[in-house]
Structure 1
């Protein structure tokens, strides 16, 4: 499964976690039992409906982000084990919570989740083991071919800096629309017009922040290496030391080649696609290629290659 398919799969798990309690909301109490005593098996903790739906999805999102970060260093072995196990456990546990509260007038009357949770743990462990075994059976990566790129002469004693920015107005507009929707829902709830719809506010707010962060980018090359800053605030930032960059080049790419707009993950590496055309592409000594769609990319690549050559001379 490519990174694009993995992202869609992760989003689908989040949707399932949120949808399970809301699909049965007519048969559930206002607060759901979400914790049971390990001694008696009786419910001893509860959450409102919106929290019971949202918290597991947030836990899943944190697990996905954590394993994605680890995957940059171990080639995805941890993700292949942790994500299937985490998905099975969270979906199974959410199903157990919904079933335990079904047709109960109060959360304190909820059924026990012991048997269902035991089955869920066993299936989750099996899913994690299967993912681990699948990761071990992957063929070893083939050595990468050397890719040459442009270079330039840097006069002795001089320090050079290259800077380029790109923004996508359509992504900024989408961030504005989703942010305005979240704000309107909060104001309507605060005014008492409707119950505060957290299940709608949270996804809209998160979408607005994420899309805004991916709507603009600034790439800078200095003697230290390359840093790529996202969003209007220049955060978050990805950095590569010049010693960790094998080569750099300029290359024309389209959204179709990258798999869409924004921050795209693929089998060959990562592409920040904000507009079709020239991209700065670097090949790190570890991990996949990274490409960012900025202007004057050939000069930035030439400076990176010159700095790398001077460091290794």
Structure 2
């Protein structure tokens, strides 16, 4: 690998920090809103501990006042947040801790509220629903995995030599890599809002405050994931060809082998030309439109694929050189 290194990723690091801050505030809002919104249907003291496990065998054997039941999970969340900020190096593992922690606490709070709902005495509280707890644990595990994937992605280091034309010289025995990443803050915000509404509906449904919750959660959750996948993109050119990863986790991924690329170029495109923002199909082919301006366009098997990333001319030049070198040796 050779050439001048260029570090990109400050904007993404800022977006990650803002996203975690929004998650912290959102969890606080959910933990507080669940018991407060159902306060008229809850006993003065709430069952908060069940003996004998969950399901029909679990009977409440411990309680807290309404204020204690409200503040206890908030206190635990505050400790988790403080620990993530203080005890992780530059918050490098914050998402791994905070995402599953928030899911688990919100699920636990929903389960407690649901069990106490419409009972005059905490001793009459329903047993904890084992299915809800199992679902909470499953989602927490998935959240931990997603957090680990987010934390693993550090700043992007793009390494490539300058190039004036569509083809660059690759010195013998050297390997060149080109990387670029782009995100659209408005699409990220839209995905966050849709996901937040879906999460609140899911927690409210688990707490017995909304039924049937899945009719609202499912379409909003799917829409949030779809918008999130189209909100950011990462393009990478290596000796193997082109790789384009979608979303904050860089997944799903589309790949083009160098032998399959007929040509590559940089082209200026506008959202009005391709039909809007996100993943678009038009007469120009497939375009991942995150911002107006320079796009990397590759032609493979007679079809064009474009992605709006900075420094597209270099990426195109390197791709053309790699594709030409691969074809000449095959």
**Cα distance, 1:215 vs structure 2:** 0.6
| Correspondence for 1:262 among 267, 275, 278 | 278
**Cα distance, 1:309 vs structure 2:** 1.2
| Correspondence for 1:240 among 250, 256, 263 | 256
Q: How far apart in 2 are the matches of 1:250 and 1:268?
A: 14
Q: What is the SS of the residue equivalent to 1:171?
A: helix
User: Contact 1:269/1:288 (CA < 8 Å) preserved in 2?
Assistant: yes
Q: Which ranges of structure 2 fall in alignment gaps of 5 or more residues?
A: 1-164
Q: Would you identify which runs of 4 or more consecutive aligned residues in structure 1 move more than 3 Å?
A: none
Q: How far apart in 2 are the matches of 1:309 and 1:189?
A: 57
Q: How far apart in 2 are the matches of 1:198 and 1:267?
A: 38
User: Contact 2:237/2:315 (CA < 8 Å) preserved in 1?
Assistant: yes
**Cα distance, 1:287 vs structure 2:** 4.6
Post-superposition Cα deviations, 1:46-91, rounded to whole Å, max 9, x if no partner, equal xxxxxxxxxxxxxxxxxxxxxxxxxxxxxxxxxxxxxxxxxxxxxx
Deviates more, 1:190-199 or 1:172-181: 190-199
Post-superposition Cα deviations, 1:162-219, rounded to whole Å, max 9, x if no partner, equal 0000000100000100001101111222222221322211010001111111110000
| Correspondence for 2:295 among 260, 268, 279 | 279
The residue aligned with 2:321 is 306
Q: What is the SS of the residue equivalent to 1:311?
A: helix
Q: How far apart in 1 are the matches of 2:167 and 2:214?
A: 53
The residue aligned with 2:212 is 196
Q: Root-mean-square deviation (CA), in Å?
A: 1.1
The residue aligned with 2:190 is 174
Q: Which ranges of structure 1 fall in alignment gaps of 5 or more residues?
A: 1-148
**Cα distance, 1:159 vs structure 2:** 0.6
Post-superposition Cα deviations, 1:98-141, rounded to whole Å, max 9, x if no partner, equal xxxxxxxxxxxxxxxxxxxxxxxxxxxxxxxxxxxxxxxxxxxx
User: Contact 1:229/1:235 (CA < 8 Å) preserved in 2?
Assistant: yes
User: Contact 1:190/1:196 (CA < 8 Å) preserved in 2?
Assistant: no
The residue aligned with 2:307 is 292
User: Contact 1:280/1:298 (CA < 8 Å) preserved in 2?
Assistant: yes
Q: What is the SS of the residue equivalent to 2:222?
A: helix
Post-superposition Cα deviations, 1:238-281, rounded to whole Å, max 9, x if no partner, equal 00000100000000101111110000012331000000000000
Q: How far apart in 2 are the matches of 1:287 and 1:299?
A: 22
Q: How far apart in 2 are the matches of 1:308 and 1:189?
A: 54
Q: What is the SS of the residue equivalent to 1:260?
A: coil
Aligned length: 164
Q: What is the SS of the residue equivalent to 1:247?
A: strand
Deviates more, 1:233-242 or 1:260-269: 260-269
Q: What is the SS of the residue equivalent to 1:174?
A: helix
The residue aligned with 1:72 is none
Summarize the alignment of residues 1-313 of structure 1 with structure 2, pairs less than 5 Å apart.
150-284=166-300, 286-313=301-328
